Each structure stands twice: as structure tokens, then as C-alpha cells.
Amino acid sequence: MRTLVMFDLPTLTSAEQKQYRIFRKKLIKEGFVMMQYSIYCKLTLNSTQKDRIERFVESNKPAAGNVAMLTITEKQFANIKYVLGQFASDVLTTTDRLVVI
């Protein structure tokens, strides 16, 4: 199973930014991996570990903002489809010489 933690926390004041950083660092220390900004994922082996992770997130959540947790199976996680846009860059990535006169 995989447990996904999705959060939307306010970051307007310096105190809110600090709470955001602390929450994010605690998730990383607990073994979560960032999938996207504000979406973190962790492998859970059984429902007992899932319950412990949920209690951990609930006890460490910031006072303000929204935190959502979702547990999905490995098969569901493997079926996630990533739709990517075209990458655009202003940097030349060729070894050809460019002479502008």
C-alpha cells in the first residue's frame, strides 16, 4: 500500500512559513518522498503501519491549512498516469558553433 499526504498550508506570514517547513521536514524524516509540491508518498506494508502513519500526520499537522491522507494499493499506484507538457528552454544544448554578427 501507499499512503499519500496532500496539504495546502498558508505561507503568508513568516510564522506560517516556518510551520510549513517544519511539517515538510517531519514528513521527509518519517520517510515520505515528494511526488509533487505539497504531495508526499510513503510505502506502507500493512494496515497497522498505515494507522501509525496517520496518527503521526494528525499529531504533527500545522494549526492552519488543509491536510488530506489517502491510502491506495500498489496496483493502483502503479496505474498512475503522468501527463507531461513539452519542456521549453532558452539554453542551447548543441555543440554547434553559433556566430551572431
Within a domain: residue 84?
no
Q: What is the pLDDT of residue 69?
A: 96
Q: pLDDT-derived band of residue 100, with 50, 70 and 90 as boundaries?
A: low
Within a domain: residue 87?
no
Contact 71, 44 (CB under 8 A): yes
Contact 50, 71 (CB under 8 A): yes
* Domain containing residue 74: CATH number: 3.30.70.240
Using the predicted structure, report yes or no on whether residue 94 has a pLDDT greater than 80: no
Q: What is the pLDDT of residue 72?
A: 95
Nearest to 56 by CA among 17, 18, 29: 29
Within a domain: residue 50?
yes
Structural domains of the chain, count: 1
Q: Which domain holds residue 22?
A: 2-78
Within a domain: residue 88?
no
Q: What is the pLDDT of residue 96?
A: 66
Please write the tens of the pLDDT for every residue from 40-88: 999 999 999 999 999 999 999 998 999 999 999 999 999 988 888 887 7
Within a domain: residue 21?
yes
Within a domain: residue 57?
yes
Nearest to 6 by CA among 44, 49, 53, 41: 41
Q: What is the pLDDT of residue 82?
A: 84
